[in-house]
Chains A and B, each alone.
Chain A
Amino acid sequence: MMSARTRRRRRSPIERRRALTALSFLAPALTVIAVFVLWPMANALRTSFTDARIIGGGDWIGTANYSRLLSDDRFTNALGNTAVYALVTTPVSVALALGAALLLNRAIPGRGFFRAVLFFPFVASLGIISIAWAFVLDPQVGIVNHWLAQLGLSIGDGVRDPDWAMPAVILVGIWRNTGFFMVMYLAGLQTIPREFQEAAAIDGAGAIRRFRNITWPLLANTTMFVAIIASIFSFQAFDQMYVMTAGGPFFSTETLVMLIFDTGFQDFDMGYASAMSWALVLIIMALSLGQMAYFRRRTVQY
């Protein structure tokens, strides 16, 4: 007891110095985050309880903005669109990425080329390349519709068709992120010791069984990371809607982020836009924590 206390006292100046060193390593980055992320978040929370219309000012109106959300059809519509976009793009892009990574983790001809091509959409500006997509998918002059027509298929009025606009922006979203997730999976696959696969192969396990019993469980941590990033990405989707559809037609591609942007920067209804922002924050946090809890039970150490 006594000796432990003296030892602790003797060590504490060093500990204090190390804590100070740590703080000096952390201070620059954390200051930026505190000033430009945390402080604005707190500000948005305060603003969400006011009727602030333009910059500054605004009277306290309690939870009126939040109750307005619940009865706002445009908000409900945007929430639904966001959910549809996220529920399709997340699993499809993650599955495609995993498939591509498995194919490209083996020695096949053109491996480097294929890897680069699949990652390429991530290198370009989504806002700009969406202009090209809009033209390629255009119902009258687009090349895709021209090809589909020869197969007897049609994409209706394309991004001007309420039924086809959402599939179009979803397609672009999947196209954009698949390569990024593929790279994460390729990195994950590199960390799996080769002996595991070899041992299973010697035991007579086929490719499908090796995937199910070895690769997939050992990739659980990568899948957790990718799934969380993918759903955050899909909740943040903005660029291709802004350029291809501007949220239309008839609000069919208006996501929460687009609605926040419109409400805040076109209608200057800052209080209401802040309430929407906080609603979105709560949704994303609940979702991410849920995903983490789900995957944590499946995490594998090796």
Chain B
Amino acid sequence: MTISRPIRTFASVAVLALLSLAFLLPFLWMLSASLRTQGDLLANPQTLWPEHITWDNYREVWQRIPFGRQFLNTVVYAGIITVVSVLLDSMAGYAFARFTFPGRGPLFVVVLVTLMLPIQVTLIPVFQLLNDLGWINTYQGLIVPRVADAFGIFFMRQFFLSLPRDLEDAGRIDGFSEFGIWRRIMMPLAWPAVLTLGLFNLLYNWNDLLWPLIVTTDENMRTLSAGLALFKGQHSAEYGLLMAGAILALLPMVAAFALVQRRFIEGIATTGLK
């Protein structure tokens, strides 16, 4: 029994449309709450439509918490980690994929084991270490422990394994050093994978809540996620303000996603994570 193609397509689109609505619901609510007055939201919570649109929340959020400062913190923190970790992870991934050296197998197993560790498990000793170093409430405390990670190394290794070996030999004949081969031949080919990993790292760190909660106690050193979550703890009823802050925090990530989106699935496919 076969179902005709148009009917199947229509059914697929209908299912996806319903699913999309459910997926977008909290975002629509966020947007709506950010554009309403507190009174309107609490009086008519069962509709998504504001009585009238107000931009007050977007103006006020900058004054009520050090929003500008926390925005800057988040840019510095997530931005530096993303760039540096993609670099270090590709170097390490390249070495695991393309060199044979004593101890390669055991070292790679160690990397895979750390991939399985939940970050929360190391929180206490890492906190103690950062405290001993005097790195609590500092950028280096937020950033340095995060600039290399097992997932990225694994991801880039899978990508470099898929590249043909002839490329390296050609580079050697042209007189490149090993570092030159990596930088001038391999990395330019790795763009889809690099962009994909970069987006993952950016999203992960930009949005992370637990790590900045642990490493910072000073309001002026917090990132947006932590700052807004703690604001909620103190002023639980001010939803409009909170959601305006949340939308502003979300916009840069939407832009980043939109930029990378086209290369994204291709980037994962090229790593052969199949």
Contacts and interface: CB of A to CB of B under 8 A. Distances in A.
A103 B17 CA distance: 12
B83 to A, nearest CB: 13
B62 interface: no
Contact of B120 (A26, A116, A141, A261): A261
A239 interface: yes
A30 interface: yes
Nearest to B11: A103
B253 A37 contact: no
Contact of A18 (B99, B123, B224): B99
Interface residues of B, number: 99
B224 A125 contact: yes
Interface in B119-174: 119-129, 131, 144-150, 153
Contacts of A26: 91-92, 95-96, 107
A19 B103 CA distance: 10
A87 interface: no
Contacts of B269: 187-188, 190-191
* Size bin of chain A's contact surface: 35 or more
Interface in A118-157: 118-129, 131-133, 135-136, 138, 141-144, 146
Contacts, number: 281
B29 to A, nearest CB: 5
B16 A104 contact: yes
Contacts of B128: 40, 43, 55-56, 270
20 contacts: A21-B179, A29-B91, A32-B148, A33-B114, A36-B129, A103-B12, A108-B16, A125-B246, A128-B207, A128-B225, A135-B33, A142-B45, A143-B48, A183-B265, A183-B268, A184-B273, A236-B118, A242-B210, A264-B123, A277-B121
Given A21-B99, A113-B20, 11 more contacts: A30-B111, A32-B144, A35-B145, A36-B146, A38-B110, A44-B121, A47-B124, A108-B16, A123-B257, A127-B229, A281-B118
Interface of B: 2, 9, 12-13, 15-17, 19-20, 22-27, 29-30, 33, 42, 45-48, 88-89, 91-92, 94-96, 99-102, 104, 107, 110-111, 113-129, 131, 144-150, 153, 178-179, 182, 203, 206-210, 214, 224-226, 228-229, 232, 239, 242-243, 246, 249-250, 253-254, 257, 261, 264-266, 268-269, 271-274
